[in-house]
Homo-oligomer: A and B are copies of this chain.
Amino acid sequence: MSEVYNKAQLAKSVTGQLAKRSTAQKNEALLAMADALVRQAEDIIAANAEDLLRGKELGTSSSLLDRLALNEARIEGIAEGLRQIAALPDPVGDTLEQFERPNGLSIVKKRVPIGLIGIIYEARPNVTVDAAGLCLKTGNAVVLRGGSAALSSNRKIIEVLHQAMEQTALPKEALQLVEDPDRASVDEMLKMNGVLDVIIPRGGSSLIQNVVMNATVPVIETGAGICHTYIDETARPDMAGAIALNAKVQRPSVCNSMETMIVHRAYAEAHLAELAEQFRSRNVELRGCERTLHYIPWAVKATAEDYATEYNDYILNVKIVNDLDEAIDHITTYGTKHSECIVTETPEHAERFLEEVDAAAVYHNASTRFTDGFEFGFGAEIGISTQKLHARGPMGLPALTSTKYVIIGSGQIRN
């Protein structure tokens, strides 16, 4: 049997035991794990150095090396993340519905752990700890398959976490790391129906698409964001400019940042040239439709492919429209149903936009950058779901739970 199969079965074997652990027991384990990471930071940094050296030899880009790199401050931050997860309310055991039937059956719908979760991610050791913490807090076992470029770091981290778990009520078998660097181990995970209850991919769009297109196990799709901000005719220029700039430049590399700014023609006539200068001063390259070029001669002509691209970079498409309908049509055509914003002082337009635009999060007069578990007040986030089943938008701890109907009778049989 393969490594991934054996480890998944081992994790599966303790799901029942794990589901019975109390909130206090789970929190105690998370805190012990956090302390162990800090205490053994030196060992982890040494293991990380091996990954970094290998990465440099292979010519890995400096931005990828940066995501891979650990130091004391980063490890303290990762440990602090575990402590924050420990401090969050535990959704497991919550009663969601409770009703009695005319025949006297009492029915309760309760939150329960999902069971065994697979996480497939890139060479980011912080995700190893974060995913482990979120899954264990919700009573789930987890099989982690991180990018092989972080293997030495991940091995050491898991070793440290396992040692810490041994002193607690949580079975260490609940936390498994797949070490096989071969892509075949990912392919095998994707087909482990009946063993893995769900797979959550975390990473770039090629990683996510590989999981979505090849998994037979249920998947929670996260990530892709081609987000728009529509500046309507009546938008207040100060507000519209601040929101659009924030949505683009506050952190361009993330999924909830803006890729295309849609502007009403009257607003464009009055304000687009000035707004464009603000983007230029932030080093944002603008790509525009024919009409845009009239106001921003230095902009590049945008293609249909541009409108369909998630740049995650200092590049912005600009599209001028005649009315709200045209704006909504553009979003329907090119959006990825992640986060969409209208800036307007016309309440009827806001209402129509919020109603008609189909996305996980729709905004009136606020930056799309707020689509985030922490900003929503969930205290943690396993990702932002861009699918419509199970969870949509920022996913807090409840997204890592399932439900169960508990029915108490007194001998009822069906007629």
Contacts and interface: CB of A to CB of B under 8 A. Distances in A.
A243 B409 CA distance: 11
A43 interface: no
A269 to B, nearest CB: 22
A287 interface: no
A258 to B, nearest CB: 12
Contact of A404 (B114, B221, B359): B359
A390 B389 contact: yes
Contacts of A405: 360-362, 371, 376, 392-394
Interface string A173-214: 000000000000000000001000110000000000000111
Interface stretch (A2-10, A28-36, A125-133, A350-358): A350-358
Contact of A20 (B354, B355, B360, B407): B355
Contacts of A99: 377
Interface in A388-415: 388-390, 392-394, 402-415
A218 interface: yes
As for how many copies of this chain the complex holds, the number is 2
A153 interface: no
A387 interface: yes
Nearest to A332: B16
A361 B407 CA distance: 7
Given A242-B413, A332-B16, A412-B366, A402 B375 contact: no
11 contacts: A101-B375, A236-B411, A243-B411, A250-B415, A364-B408, A364-B409, A366-B407, A369-B414, A370-B407, A392-B403, A393-B403
